[in-house]
Chains A and B, each alone.
Chain A
Amino acid sequence: MRTTTRRSHRLLALAAVAALTTGVLAGCAGDSDDGDSSGSGNNAGGGKTTLTIGTFGVFGYKQAGLYDEYMKSHPDITIKENVTTRTDVYWPKVLTRLQAGSGTDDIQAIEVGNITEAVQTQGSKFVDLGKDVDKSQWLDWKNAQATTADGKLIGLGTDIGPMAICYRKDLFQKAGLETDRTKLAAQWKGDWNKYVDLGKQYMKKAPSGTKFVDSASSVYNAVLNGESERYYDKSGKVVWDESTGVKNAWDVAMSVATSNMSAKLKQFDKPWDQGYANASFATVACPAWMIGYIQEKSGDAGKGKWDVAAAPTAGNWGGSFIGVPTAGKHQKEAIELAKWLTAPEQQAKVFAKQASFPSTPSAYSTLKPAAATTEFFSNAPITQIFSDSAKTIPAQVFGVKDQPINTALTDIGILQVEQKGKSPEQGWDAATNEIKDVLGQ
């Protein structure tokens, strides 16, 4: 038992060091998400202008070599990208910096879920880009989302998320269903309930360990994203509980949740990724940007087994804008860069690399998916399918608290029914309570 005091001192020192490193480690863990250095560009040595661009997730500009290309043709410009991985970390930070009037990047990306909030509350903090660009390049509804009440265009459209249905041809075959993409699309055209019916048919002869769809929430989002009426009306009033769009989407989601055809996964969780690798579900509503994701997560095992068919209704899920904050120091240069990055030719280059779908229709004829992607999705004409969808997407009205309301319905309401066996009424009530809390009622 006897130990010298020297050793106990050493141990105490160890404990002390441990206590001190907590702070350091915690700091690192917290910061690892954002490799972000604040501040607008400064004039670096040699008369160069440094433009910073703040993005979240993977925008594909760097990946497609756009920055290098621009810097080569503009030798006096240096571009620096500040990436924050998660949108829910990125956006609050941008909001506070916009309002503080300092620390914003020269160009700031805005996700479609936040664009209404930006338009309605931060309009004066962004440069009006409408005068500098030919607005007709973009899809009308895309421009409309970024335009303030007094006609200011605060963001240029980058990608959009037209949706299709991605499905496992091999599983469909085993379940004795139609596997041809055009015939399938015809079977469920115009009505998501037909898609659910097909799911019921699938489940009767489902290959063991597989379900028809990844989750009821993803079906809810897919349906809602094709409805023109969502949570707010045009005047900005919250109408979520009487909106026909919400009711439609909810009903379809409920028939999925209560008929055992869902793998009950939460999208973008690790188990969802594993679901792709293990082929545990046969269909997923896939916006264009998800194509690359499916390919990556399924790996080589999924090659040639996936196919893409048009969705029952056209809808848009996701996509972003880039805007120029008035607090930036190099507005003129930033506007030029933003224009260039969102021009049809550049959007086509990003599509080739990242499968982010352009918001500029004139790019559609030039789109070429990567060879590997074509092979992976059984030579499906994905550019054709997504462009067709993009052109018929209804203009959707968003609201300030669109995202938290949506989360309440999917991650509280639908999840309770799907995973905890609650009744649809109980799920709806739970979502209602949650939304009241969100709206501060």
Chain B
Amino acid sequence: MTSPKQALAHPASSAEAAPGSQPGAARGAHGGGTPPKGPSPWRSKLYRWDMKASPYVFIAPFFVIFGAFSLVPLLYTAWYSLHDVQLSSLDTQTWAGLDNYQNLLSSDFFWNALKNTFTIGVISTVPQLMAAIGLAHLLNYRLRGSTMWRVVMLTPYATSVAAATLVFTLLYSWDGGMVNWLLDFVGIDPINWRESDWGSQFAVSSIVIWRWTGYNALIYLAAMQAIPADLYESAAIDGANRWQQFIHVTVPQLRPTILFTVVISTIGATQLFGEPLLFGGVSGSKGGSEHQYQTLGLYMYDQGWIIGNLGKASAIAWSMFLILLIIAAINLLVTRRLRKSQ
């Protein structure tokens, strides 16, 4: 393809070749004796500038917005995290050095939140992605009303966290909730879902699973449909049944997609906030009376906006950021390994 630069540069050079026809050339002539180069350097400079600067101008809005709403807050948070700052006295910040971080490392609440974030992350992400692959596989068959099924898959994802969590909170309600009512049928004693340790984590995970499984399933489905049919045909000729085809053709072909969803889900799990907050109801930022489902996001919110300790909250935010960087690094290593092994 001809580069736009070449195409656009052409008239400029032709202007040089035929000076009389250009207004700029006339001005050059007025200069009296100076070589007729007036217009061309000016114009070509403009062009060169245009060529060089335009792309930056076009992408600038993103970077300006990113800078204003992501980078500046990020750096400001770092600054805050090194100070003792209260929400009620933002104008008086006293230097605290690494006190806030030290405070975190020696705080049971922080480690508890980190542990909860991890366990809730695992019990929500793993079943979610496995179910999503299974569903995608089923959707990939010829089905009656396949579009409808796909839309249905996406509806949980389209509902707001607030609405979904409210419904789940009622289902898991200790007294008269549907889950306990069903358990009662099977002869199991009612469980206090919000206050029991594993029960509450399970309940929170189930909301996450419900909301995101369909979304991941559609991503997998899109990737599955890009797998060349010849692979399945040859596998079929070799005598592989559907299950064997799934294991030996679909899953390996999906590997990059699986990795992508794992990364996205891990980031989502690290930042888990809305579901446990709303599940807790009043004073939900505590994550239960023993902080049994208080995630890092909740702990940060509680410290910053409920207790008003912005310095410490900022330190938590930066710790979360560092944790995400570590996850990204691990992911990079794994990806490289996978590439090499292929």
CB distance A15 to B162 under 8 Å? no
For chain A, the count of residues having a C-beta within 8 Å of the partner chain is 55
- Which A residues touch B89, using CB under 8 A? 99, 121
CB distance from B305 to the nearest CB of A (A): 5
* A278 lies within 8 A of chain B by Cβ: yes
With a CB–CB cut-off of 8 A, which chain A residues contact B103? 440
Provide the bound-state CA to CA distance between A96 and B305, in Å. 11
Whether B229 pairs with A440 at a CB distance below 8 angstroms is no
Q: Which residues of B contact A96 (CB under 8 A)?
A: 87, 90
CA A96 to CA B173, docked complex, whole Å: 36
Residues of A within 8 A of B88 (CB): 95, 117, 121-122, 400
- State which of A5-13, A183-191, A301-309, A333-341 sits at the interface with chain B: A5-13
The answer to whether B91 touches A12, judged by C-beta atoms less than 8 angstroms apart, is: no
Question: How far apart are the CA atoms of A92 and B86 in the complex, in Å?
Answer: 11
Flag B216-238 by CB within 8 Å of A: 1 or 0 each.
00110110011001001000000
Q: Is the CB of B140 within 8 A of A270?
A: no
Q: Is B169 an interface residue (CB 8 A)?
A: yes
Kindly specify which of B13-21, B279-287, B316-324 makes contact with the partner chain. Answer: B279-287
Q: Are B158 and A25 in contact (CB under 8 A)?
A: yes
Contact, CB under 8 Å: A271 / B222: no
B147-176 interface bits toward A, Cβ cutoff 8 Å, 1 = contact, 0 = none: 000100010011011100010011001111
User: How far is B158's CA from A8's CA once the two chains are assembled, in angstroms?
Assistant: 21
Q: Is the CB of A15 within 8 A of B289?
A: no
Complex Cα spacing A419 to B218, Å: 41
Interface size on B, residues (CB 8 A): 51
By the criterion CB–CB under 8 Å, are B232 and A412 in contact?
Answer: no
Q: Say whether B44 faces chain A, with CB atoms less than 8 Å apart.
A: no
Please tell me if the beta carbons of B160 and A271 are within 8 angstroms of each other in the complex: no
In the bound complex, residues from chain B placing their C-beta under 8 Å from that of A18 are: 154, 157, 215, 218
Cα separation A292 to B286 with both chains bound (whole Å):
29
- Which of A29, A263, A401, A411 is close to B308, meaning CB atoms less than 8 Å apart? A401
Residues of B with C-beta under 8 A to A32: 160, 162
A270 and B173 in contact, given A121-B89, A419-B195 (Cβ under 8 angstroms): yes
Tell me whether A2 is interfacial, beta carbon within 8 Å.
Answer: yes
Q: Bound state CA distance, A280 and B176, in angstroms?
A: 11
| Other-chain contact of B170, A2, A121, A270, A437 (Cβ < 8 Å) | A270
Whether B282 and A21, one on each chain, are in contact in the complex, defined by CB atoms closer than 8 angstroms, is no
Q: How far is the CB of A175 from chain B (nearest CB, A)?
A: 20
**Per a CB cutoff under 8 Å, which of B173, B219, B232 touches A271?**
B173
A135 to B160, CA, bound (A): 47
Chain B nearest CB, measured from A98 CB (Å): 9
User: B56: shortest Cβ distance to chain A, in Å?
Assistant: 25
Report the Cα distance A88→B109, complex, angstroms: 21
For B228, give the chain A residue with the smallest CB separation: A2
Smallest distance from the beta carbon of B72 to chain A beta carbons, Å? 15
Does B307 make an interface contact (CB < 8 A)? yes
Q: When each residue 213-236 of chain A gets 1 if its CB lies under 8 Å from chain B and 0 otherwise, what string results?
A: 000000000000000000000000
Docked-complex contact A269 and B281, CB < 8 angstroms: yes
Expressed in whole angstroms, the Cα–Cα distance for A425 and B289 within the complex equals 15
User: Is the Cβ of A12 less than 8 Å from the Cβ of B281?
Assistant: no
For A28, the closest partner residue in chain B by CB is B160
B26 to chain A, nearest CB (A): 53
A-B residue pairs in contact (CB < 8 Å), sample of 24? A1-B141, A5-B226, A14-B218, A15-B219, A26-B161, A29-B162, A32-B162, A95-B90, A96-B87, A121-B86, A121-B89, A265-B175, A266-B282, A268-B281, A270-B166, A278-B176, A401-B308, A407-B283, A407-B306, A411-B286, A415-B289, A430-B289, A433-B108, A440-B312
Closest 4 CB pairs of A and B: A8-B225, A415-B289, A121-B88, A269-B281
A270-B166, A270-B281, A411-B282 given. 19 additional CB < 8 A pairs?
Answer: A1-B140, A1-B229, A1-B232, A5-B226, A12-B222, A15-B219, A28-B160, A29-B274, A95-B88, A117-B88, A269-B281, A271-B170, A280-B175, A412-B289, A415-B289, A420-B192, A430-B290, A433-B108, A440-B309
- Interface of B with A (CB < 8 Å)? 86-91, 103, 107-109, 140-141, 150, 154, 157-158, 160-162, 166, 169-170, 173-176, 192, 195, 215, 218-219, 221-222, 225-226, 229, 232, 274, 281-283, 286, 289-290, 304-309, 312
